[in-house]
Amino acid sequence: MSRLLGPEMRAEGPVWWTEVRAVGAVTEAGRLAGSVAGRLVSVSGGTTWPTDAAHTDVVPIPSADGDSTGNGALGIDNLTDHAALIIQDRPLVAATTWLTDLVQTVLASGRELQILTPPGTRLTLPTRTLMTGLPVRWVVRDLARGYYDGLTGAVLHWHQGRFAPVPTADGRASAAVAFETLAATHGEQQLHLSIRTTHPADDNLVLGGALEAAWRTLTGDAPAGWSTAEPVNLPWSPRQLTEMARARAEKSAPTWFVAVGAPDQPAIGTCRVVRTPAGVEEQITVAFGYTAGQAPVRSLSELAQELATRHRLTSMLACLREARADLTTPPHREPPLVPLSFTLGCEAVRLVGPAVAESAPARSVRLGPTARPALHYPLGDGTGPASWQRLAQHDDHLGARSRLSRRDGRRPG
């Protein structure tokens, strides 16, 4: 709770969390939401945020004033043919159940989801991950100069029913001044891992092992909890999340969940579980926050060994950057991620071809069984852009060589 709403909002033990949204389509919606929250607390106990928002006044709603389209029930503040706009006036935009459901509903309608926030708002890592590759735009209201994209910095204007980049004379989007100011990090660092595993789809499968292994290796403990949305409200349980994923797989639906760590060690991750022709794949994104000089980069080879030998690793990319240790994304330019290492699992090495994989430009370290090794490629220390060049050369080599082998009708390697 304190992670999402601020340090003053603390609670001992599990909490029941509900949100009451007020949309701009109804004039008295804000006061009505406050009345609902106040009455809920007066009956059930607890507290509200913001603390001065709740009351128990009767709020009359004129019958002629309302949202006849039904979009208020979805929490949409403005709906057009091209976009659904929601307003989030809060310190952090979290991947709540409401938001994750709304993303699916809006995108299924062929529209773009646009999230409008004030300039002081940040995104949680699950929200940032959820937006990746989807038509979801973060619109930041700059009180002095208008609107801009919180992730790219592009200056925006309202055009044909949506916020769109303002083109310059050469057709490119101009960057907002407010975005270009680098956020002060005071030496804080983020260690990011992108992990993929592939498992046989059998009754003995238990998911979450790779994520837990990463957590234990880098923090010394397992994740504290998991949930299908924020806030995270369930104790960490690979068995329970596996049961949920299995039930969703029976309906041909993927599973997406969030995991968090203990408050004294910033760590948060997401995992998408999908059924593929190769089996059951876990697509994991996890980040750890550190103060100056504390990122345990030397533990990455140990983690690669653990994942390759015990958790059916397909690949892992590890990156480092200077950024907020609380792992949130501000609406300002941040230093880019810099690759530290890349790891290919045993089966991935076999498919590419051991000879091809070991002849890559990046130096490789063998992991696991001699007859069927995984390969770990150190790329740098996370301080310079040369690591991206090494990774690009590495990818080009593996891709070109494996494509050539398939084209010639030969088994790779």
Distance (Å, rounded) from C-alpha 392 to C-alpha 344? Answer: 15
Sequence-separated (6 or more) residues with CB below 8 Å from residue 114: 83, 84, 85, 86, 136, 137, 138, 139, 162, 163
Residue ranges of alpha helices (H) inside 311-353 are 346-352
Token couple for 57: 């006044």
Tell me the C-alpha to C-alpha distance, in Å, between residue 146 and each of 23, 149, 273, 285, 398. Answer: 22, 11, 40, 33, 46
DSSP state string for 155-201: EEEE-SSSEEE-B-TTSPBPBPHHHHSPPP-TT-EEEEEEEEEEE--
Residue written as token pair 């660092």 = 189
Reading the chain (413 residues) residue by residue, the pLDDT tens digits are 567 776 666 666 566 778 887 776 677 777 888 888 888 888 888 888 777 888 888 888 765 444 444 455 578 999 999 999 999 988 999 999 999 999 999 999 999 999 999 999 999 999 999 999 999 999 999 888 899 999 999 999 999 999 999 988 777 778 899 998 776 677 899 999 999 999 999 999 999 999 999 999 999 999 999 999 999 989 999 999 999 999 999 998 999 999 999 878 899 999 999 999 999 999 999 999 998 778 999 999 999 999 999 999 999 999 999 999 999 999 999 988 999 999 999 999 999 999 999 998 888 999 988 889 999 999 998 887 789 888 999 888 887 544 433 333 333 33
Q: In one letter, which amino acid is 19?
A: E
Is pTM beyond 0.75? Reply is yes
Distance (Å, rounded) from C-alpha 165 to C-alpha 51? Answer: 37
For the chain, the first-to-last Cα distance in angstroms comes to: 52
Other beta carbons less than 10 A from residue 104's beta carbon:
11
Distance (Å, rounded) from C-alpha 350 to C-alpha 372? Answer: 7
For the chain, how many residues are written?
A: 413
Spacing of C-alpha 15 from chain mean position? 23
Report pLDDT for 8.
Answer: 63
